[in-house]
């Protein structure tokens, strides 16, 4: 029978054999974010289209070429969100979080949708980790989100990380800079791509972000924004650098970093890593002090970042970063007949209630087939239950790694199982070099005597 359809181009199925990697990255990110005081926000996967037109910018590639926009049955124009910041900003404003203690710190894991050419690590449906900080104007806030991203990336094991920072100023000082850019690029109109020519009058800074090799080469000689930023913007940028220095985070000032969305002001940054001899961006963000005002609120400083999880994991794999092993089945219960199958189901329930990963046969397999399946699951322990075991009230639990067996009673089975596994772990642990001649433990903050009592006891 032929398959009715396949996955849509630019989407990715995350199968059980690989999903543990994504779970590890998500879990690590949220734990680190929480340490910084950021808590999860969840926003809808689609928003009214005007939100992105106002926040992201009508002249950006995202809006002009990449958004998935449709009209619903109520004749409303809706868009699958292409990035996470606009939705978080809308939620902050709609729910009156500006009345709460500031700053409001949010983090999220969200799907995003962009109609772009699918590439390795870049999909039309991708997933983004991000943070938003609303209500903090100090460069200390910029430094904090950069530190959060830095801690996440380094914790995950990526190496050859390069942080590039820049200031793109405020709307006031950018006016003069845009005039200088326009004058510079007008000399190359015969060489620029059509998209960049269309940007020349309204958003010449966007040309600096063009991926065309020809436009990128021309942009190398363009005037630097740092020569045009006003004194408040300069002070903010210098303050950011001082904070990064205080946090021991290395950085490089790169006037070519501008980001691709209109809502950015002042600070912009990118974390890059080496990939086959070239540098690719794994995280980008900055400050957007005009965003809340642009979508209908009062002036409110804000900053944040986003990182694509697919690209992040791809780089981790290419750099041979260590992922924790997928969680194993702790115990597989083998049953030999209908009566023992019912008993196994009850026993498995007891184990799961105790928080122990446990499985039992639900396919009516033979004894041999069940053991073969348990091996494929990499079950740590197995127990075979038949009429004899039920009558005796106990069964032999086998350690599949060592081959050792231990008889455990069915009464308080989960408690006995946990005690058994703890005893095995203690017995297998290598204490050599840890115990001093007087019985104290090297590097410990207490003294363990051979009798199991401390001096303080």
Q: Where are the domains of the chain?
A: 16-170+229-318, 331-428
Confidence at residue 426, expressed as pLDDT on a 0 to 100 scale:
82
Q: Token match 């965003």: residue? A: 291
Q: Using CB atoms within 10 A of its CB, is residue 224 exposed (0-12), middle (13-18) or buried (19+)?
A: middle
Task: Please say if the pLDDT value at position 443 is more than 90.
Answer: no
What would the mean pLDDT of 126-154 be, rounded to a whole number? 97
Which CATH topology does 16-170+229-318 take?
A: BirA Bifunctional Protein; domain 2 (3.30.930)
Over residues 50-68, the pLDDT tens digits come to 999 887 766 566 677 789 9
Confidence at residue 122, expressed as pLDDT on a 0 to 100 scale:
82
* 203 or 298: which leads in pLDDT: 298
Tally of CA atoms within 13 A in the half-sphere of 391 that contains its CB: 3
CA 174 to chain centre: 33
Spatial separation of the C-alpha atoms in residues 161 and 22, rounded to whole Å:
20
CB 223 within 8 A of CB 184: yes
Instruction: Taking the CA atoms of 142, 147, 148 and 152 in sequence, report the sign of the dihedral they define.
Output: positive
The pair of structure tokens assigned to 345 is: 């189901």
Spatial separation of the C-alpha atoms in residues 68 and 423, rounded to whole Å:
57
Task: Please say if the pLDDT value at position 138 is more than 60.
Answer: yes
Confidence at residue 393, expressed as pLDDT on a 0 to 100 scale:
96
Confidence at residue 418, expressed as pLDDT on a 0 to 100 scale:
94
Q: Token match 């409001």: residue? A: 104
Task: Please say if the pLDDT value at position 129 is more than 80.
Answer: yes
Task: Please say if the pLDDT value at position 446 is more than 50.
Answer: no
CB 321 within 8 A of CB 158: yes
Over residues 141-175, the pLDDT tens digits come to 999 999 999 999 999 999 999 999 999 999 888 88
- pTM metric for this prediction: 0.86
Q: Do domains 16-170+229-318 and 331-428 have the same CATH topology?
A: no
Over residues 392-430, the pLDDT tens digits come to 999 999 999 999 999 999 999 999 999 999 888 887 776
CA 86 to chain centre: 18
Confidence at residue 181, expressed as pLDDT on a 0 to 100 scale:
87
Confidence at residue 444, expressed as pLDDT on a 0 to 100 scale:
45
Which CATH topology does 331-428 take?
A: Rossmann fold (3.40.50)
DSSP structure string for 160-213: SEEEEEEE---HHHHHHHHHHHHHHHGGGTTTS-HHHHHHTTT-GGGGGG---H
The pair of structure tokens assigned to 74 is: 């109520």
Task: Please say if the pLDDT value at position 288 is more than 90.
Answer: yes
CB 221 within 8 A of CB 208: no
Nearest to 143 by CA among 120, 165, 172: 165
CB 316 within 8 A of CB 299: no
- Which of 174-188, 230-244, 246-260 tops mean pLDDT? 230-244
Task: Please say if the pLDDT value at position 329 is more than 60.
Answer: yes
Confidence at residue 61, expressed as pLDDT on a 0 to 100 scale:
65
Q: How confident is the model at residue 9 (pLDDT cuts 50, 70, 90)?
A: very high
- Per DSSP bridges, beta strands 405-409 and 39-40 are unpaired
Q: Using CB atoms within 10 A of its CB, is residue 346 exposed (0-12), middle (13-18) or buried (19+)?
A: exposed
Tally of CA atoms within 13 A in the half-sphere of 116 that contains its CB: 17
Task: Please say if the pLDDT value at position 133 is more than 60.
Answer: yes
Task: Please say if the pLDDT value at position 219 is more than 50.
Answer: yes
CA 149 to chain centre: 10
């Amino acid at each position: 029978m032929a398959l009715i359809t396949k996955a849509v181009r630019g989407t990715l199925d995350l199968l059980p054999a690989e999903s543990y990697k994504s779970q590890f990255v998500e879990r690590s990110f949220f734990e680190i974010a929480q340490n910084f005081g950021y808590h999860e926000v969840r926003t809808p996967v689609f928003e009214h289209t005007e939100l992105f037109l106002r926040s992201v910018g009508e002249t950006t590639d995202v809006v002009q070429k990449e958004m998935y926009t449709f009209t619903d049955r109520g004749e409303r124009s809706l868009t699958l969100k292409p990035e996470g910041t606009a939705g978080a900003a809308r939620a902050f404003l709609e729910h009156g979080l500006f009345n709460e203690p500031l700053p409001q710190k949010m983090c999220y894991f969200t799907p995003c949708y962009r109609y772009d050419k699918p590439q390795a690590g870049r999909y039309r449906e991708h997933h983004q980790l991000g943070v938003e900080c609303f209500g903090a104007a100090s460069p200390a806030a910029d430094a904090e989100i950069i530190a959060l991203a830095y801690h996440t990336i380094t914790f995950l094991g990526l190496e050859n990380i390069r942080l590039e920072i820049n200031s793109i100023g405020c709307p006031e000082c950018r006016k003069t800079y845009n005039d200088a850019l326009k004058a510079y690029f007008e000399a190359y109109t015969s060489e620029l791509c059509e998209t960049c020519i269309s940007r020349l009058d309204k958003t010449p800074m966007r040309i600096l972000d063009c991926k065309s090799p020809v436009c990128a080469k021309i942009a190398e000689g363009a005037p630097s924004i740092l020569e045009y930023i006003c004194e408040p913007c300069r002070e903010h940028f210098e303050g950011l650098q001082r904070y990064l220095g205080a946090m021991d985070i290395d950085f490089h000032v790169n006037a070519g970093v501008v980001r691709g969305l209109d809502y950015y002001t002042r600070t912009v940054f990118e974390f890059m890593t080496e990939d086959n001899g070239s540098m690719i961006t794994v995280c980008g963000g900055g400050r957007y002090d005009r965003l809340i005002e642009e979508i209908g609120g009062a002036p409110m400083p804000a900053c944040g970042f986003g990182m694509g999880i697919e690209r992040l994991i791809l780089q981790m794999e290419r750099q041979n970063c260590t992922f924790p092993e997928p969680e194993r089945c702790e115990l597989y219960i083998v049953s030999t007949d209908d009566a023992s199958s019912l008993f196994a189901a009850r026993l498995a329930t007891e184990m799961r209630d105790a928080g122990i990963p446990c499985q039992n046969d639900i396919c009516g397999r033979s004894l041999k087939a069940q053991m073969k399946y348990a091996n494929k699951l990499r079950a740590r322990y197995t127990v075979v239950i038949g009429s004899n075991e039920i009558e005796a009230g106990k069964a032999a639990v086998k350690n599949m790694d060592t081959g050792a067996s231990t008889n455990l009673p069915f009464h308080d089975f989960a408690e006995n199982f946990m005690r058994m596994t703890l005893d095995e772990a203690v017995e297998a642990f290598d204490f050599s070099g840890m115990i001093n001649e007087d019985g104290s433990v090297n590097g410990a903050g207490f003294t363990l005597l051979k009798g199991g009592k401390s001096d303080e006891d």
